Structure 1
Amino acid sequence: MKNPYIAKRYWKSASSELAKSADKASAAKDLINFTLGDPDVITDERVIRAAFEDALKGYTRYSESVGMKELREEISKYYLEEYGHEVKLEKLLITTSACQAMWLVMEAILDPGDEVIIPSPHFPPYPDQVKLAGGMPVFVELLEEEDYQLKVDRLDRSITERTKAIIINTPNNPIGSCLTKETLEKIGEVAKKHDLLIIADDIYTLYSYEAPFVPMSTLPGLEERTITIGSFSKDYAMTGWRIGYIKAESHFIETMKAINENNVYSAPSVSQRAAIHAIRMRKDIQPGLLEEFKKRSYYAWERLNRLNGVHVMEPKGTFYLFPNIKATGLSSAEVAERMLEEAHVAVVPGSAFGKSGEGYLRLAVTLSCEKMGEAFDRLEKMDIFK
C-alpha cells in the first residue's frame, strides 16, 4: 500500500497467493479445503496437559533469551539418539516458529546485495525473507522429469561472487518430494567449492517415506557451514504453539541471539515446556502421525491420478501433493478457480510457489480420507477432469 506513513519498502507488499487462496476458500459454502498445511490433528493431549501443568507451576515468565536450557538439552539428545550427531548447547537457539527462525538467519548473514539461491517451486515466504534482510533471491528450477532433484550443474551456473547461501528444504513443501542422500552430498560439494552457507529448512523430517531422513549438517564436512532450522509444528502437530529452533555454529547463534533480543526476546515459556514434553514423548506420538499422513498421501495420489488430464508423482514426503494439470490446457489459477466455483474444493495454484510451479496445483492432505473422498467425487464430475 502506497502511503507516506508506511515504509517505502512495503509499498508493493501484498498478501501471498497462499493467503489469497485461503481467503477465497473461506467464503465458499460446503467447502472442502486443501489449501493450508495445518494438520487437522490436535496436539497430543498428554503434551497439552503437561504444558498446562507446568504453567500452573510458574512457567509463565521469560526464559533465557536463547531458550530454556532443558529444551536445548532435549534437542541435543534428540540429534544424538536419532542421528548419532553431537550438538553442544551453545549451538542451539529456540525461536517462535521456523518462519521467525528463517528471518533471524537472513538478518544475521546477509549484507545488502548478497544472493541466496532458492530451489523452486518453493515455500512462498523465502524470497521476501531474503529481501527484507537486503538480499537478492536467485531461483534454480526443480523439474518433475528429474524427480525434483536439484541438479548441481544448474546450481553451479547460478552462483556468482555475491552468492552467500542456498536454502535446502527436504522433504519439500510444496512438491512433496525428497532429495536423495547422493543429491545432498553433491550440493555439499558445491557449497564447499564456492564457500557457501547451507540453510537447511528441516520442517518435515518425520515425513520421509522412501528413506530415513538425513540432516545435511550430519554429512562429512558440512556441519560448520550448515544452519539448520527445526520446528515442532508439523512433526508434532503443534502449529499453534509457534515453537522452533536454529542449530548452527556458536558465532551464528550469538549473533542471532542478539538480534532476537530486540525482536521477541524469548520464545513463549509455555510453548517451550510443551516442546520439552513432545520431544520426550516422540516415540509414542510420531508413529501415529506418520502412519496417518502417509495413508492420506497415498489415497490422494491414487484419486488424483484417476482424474483426466492430471498426473502426480508417488508421494515421497511431507503431506503435500503437487499434481501436474498441464494437460487440461488451463493455467493453474484457472483450474483452481474452477475447482472452487464448480466443486467447492479449494487448492493452491502452483504459480503461488514461483514460476516453476505454473501448470501444477498444491494439495495439503490435512483432511480425513473420508472428506478427501467426497472432494474427489465432486472433482470427477467436473468437465475438465472427465
Structure 2
Amino acid sequence: MKHRFLSKRYWNNISTAMGDSSGLLSKYDDVINFSLGDPDVTTDMRIITAAFNDAIKGHTHYTDFYGDQELREEICRFYGSEYNYDVAIDSCMITTSGCHAMWLALEAILDDGDEVIIHEPCFTPYQQQIRLARGIPIPLETYEEEEFQINPDRLKKLISNRTKAIIINTPNNPTGTCFRRKTLEEIVKIAKTYDLIIIADDIYTLFSYSEPFIPITTIEDMQERTITIGSFSKNYAMTGWRIGYMLAPEFIIKIVKDINENNVFTAPSISQRAALYALKNRQDIQNSILEEYKKRIMYAYERINKIRNMSVLYPRGSIYLFVNIKKTGLSSEEVAKVMFEKAHVLVLPGNVFGACGEGYIRIAITVGIDKQEEAFNRIENMSIFKKEKQINI
C-alpha cells in the first residue's frame, strides 16, 4: 500500500498466504483448517501448572538479558545428553520465538547486500527476514524427484563473493524432508570451502520419523560456524508461549544480546519458566505428542495417495505433507481456492513457499483423524479429485 506516512519498503505488498489465512476461517462455519502449523494439542498441564506456580512465586520480572539462567543450563544439558554435544552457557541465548531468533541472527551477521542462500520450498518468512536485515535472499530450488534434498552442485553454483550464509531447515517446512547425513556432510564441506555460516532452523527436531535427527552443529568443526535456532512451539505444543533459543559462538551471542536490548529486551519470564519445565519433563511429554502425529500423518498419507490427481512422498519428518496436485491441470492457488470454496478445507498453495512449490499444496496435520476423515471425504467428492466411474461392458 502506497502512502506518504508508510516506509517505502512496504509500499509493495509483503503479506503472504500464511499470514492471511486466519482471515478466511470465519467465512464458513464448518471450515477444516490445514493451513497453519499450530497444533490443536494444548500445552501439557504439567508445564502450565509449573509456570503458573512460578508466576505466583515472583517470576514476573525481567530475566537476565541472555535469558533465564536455569533454562540456559537445561538447554546445554539437553544437548549433552541427547547428542553428546558440549554447549557452553555463554553460547546460548533465549529468544522470543524461533522466528525472533532467526531475525536476530541475520541482523547480527549481515552487511548491506550480503547474500543468504535458502533452499526452496521454504518457510515463508525467510525472504523478508533476510531483507529486513538488509540482505539478499538467494533461492536454491529442490525437487520432489530428489526427495527435496539439497543438490551440492546447484548449491555451489549460487555462491558468490557476497554469499555470507546458508539457511537449512530439516525436518523441513513445508516439504517434510529430512536431510540425510550425506546431504549434511556435503553442506558442511561447502561451508568450510567457501567460509560460510550455517543457520540451522531446527524447529521440528522431534518429528524425524525414519532416522534420528542430526543437528548440523554437532558435525566435526561446525560449532564455530553454525547458528542453531531452536523453539518450543512444535516440539512441545507451545506455539502461544512464543519462546525459542539460539546457540552460536560466544561473540555472536554477545552481539545478539546487544541487538535484542533495543528490540524486546528479554523474552517473557513466565514463558521461559514453562520452557524449563518442558525440557525437564520432555520424555513424558513428547512421547504422546510424537505418537499422535505419527498416526495423523500416516492416515493423511494413505488417504491422499488414494485420491485421484493427488500424490505425496512417504512421510519422513515435520508435521506437514507437500501434496502434488499437478495432474489436476490447475495452479496451486487455483486448487487451494477451489478446495476452500467447494469443500471448505483450508490449505496453503505450494507456490507461496517458493517458485518450485508450484504444483503442490501444503497440508498441516494439526487436526485429529476424525476431522481429517471428514476433510478427505469432502475432497474426494470434488470434481477435480473424484474418481471417474468405471464403465462395465
Correspondence list, 1:184-223, <5 A = 184-223=184-223
Shift of 1:15: 1.8
1-side partners of 2:177 and 2:311: how far apart? 15
Residues 155-190 of structure 1 show CA distances to partners (whole Å, capped at 9, x for unaligned) of: 000000000000000000011111011100110000
Secondary structure (helix, strand or coil) at the match of 1:330 reads coil
Which residue in the other structure is 1:385 paired with?
385
Counterpart of 1:383 in 2: which secondary structure? coil
Letter of the structure 1 residue corresponding to residue 39 of structure 2: P
- Give 4+ residue runs of structure 1 displaced > 3 Å after superposition: none
Alignment match, 1:365: 365
Tell me the C-alpha RMSD between the 2 structures.
0.7
Match of 1:50 in 2: 50
Aligned mates of 1:58, 1:191 — CA distance in 2 = 45
Superposed, 1:48-127 pairs within 5 Å as: 48-127=48-127
Deviation at 1:22?
A: 3.2
Q: Which amino acid aligns with 2:284?
A: D
**Structure 2 residue 154 is the aligned partner of structure 1 residue 154:** yes
Following superposition of structure 1 onto structure 2, how do residues 1-386 of structure 1 map, counting pairs within 5 Å?
Answer: 1-386=1-386
**Structure 1 residue 20: deviation in Å?**
2.4
Output the amino acid matched with 1:225. Answer: R
Aligned-partner residue type, residue 122 of structure 1: C
Secondary structure, counterpart of 2:323 in structure 1? coil
- Check conservation: 1:25, 1:340, Cα contact below 8 A: no
Change (3 A) 1:192 1:26: farther
Identity of aligned residues (%): 56
TM-score between the two structures when normalised by the length of structure 1: 0.99
Determine the structure 1 residue equivalent to 2:390: none
Return the offset for 1:107: 0.5
1:171·1:207 contact (CA, 8 Å) conserved in 2? yes
| 1:193-213 CA-partner distances (Å, limit 9, x unpaired) | 000000000000000001000
Q: Distance in 2 between matches of 1:17 and 1:245?
A: 27
- SS of 1:192's partner is helix
Which runs of 5 or more structure 1 residues have no equivalent in the other structure?
Answer: none
C-alpha contact (below 8 Å) 1:127/1:137 kept by paired residues: yes
What is the DSSP-based 3-state SS (H/G/I as helix, E as strand, rest coil) of the residue aligned with 2:324?
coil
Q: Distance in 1 between matches of 2:121 and 2:25?
A: 22
Task: Give the gaps of 5 or more residues in structure 2.
Answer: 387-393
Q: Which amino acid aligns with 1:171?
A: P
Deviation at 1:220, TM superposition (A): 0.7
Contact 1:114–1:136 (CA under 8 A) maintained in structure 2: yes
Structure 1 distance, partners of 2:319, 2:365, is 6
Cα-to-partner distance string for 1:249-289 (whole Å, 9 max, x where unaligned)? 00000000000000011000000000000000001000111
Other structure's SS at 2:229 match: strand
Q: How many residues align structurally?
A: 386
C-alpha distance in structure 1 between counterparts of 2:133 and 2:299, whole Å: 41
CA distance in 2, matches of 1:221, 1:144: 31
CA deviation map 1:14-50 (0-9, x unaligned): 3212122332233222111100100000100010000
CA distance in 2, matches of 1:73, 1:271: 16
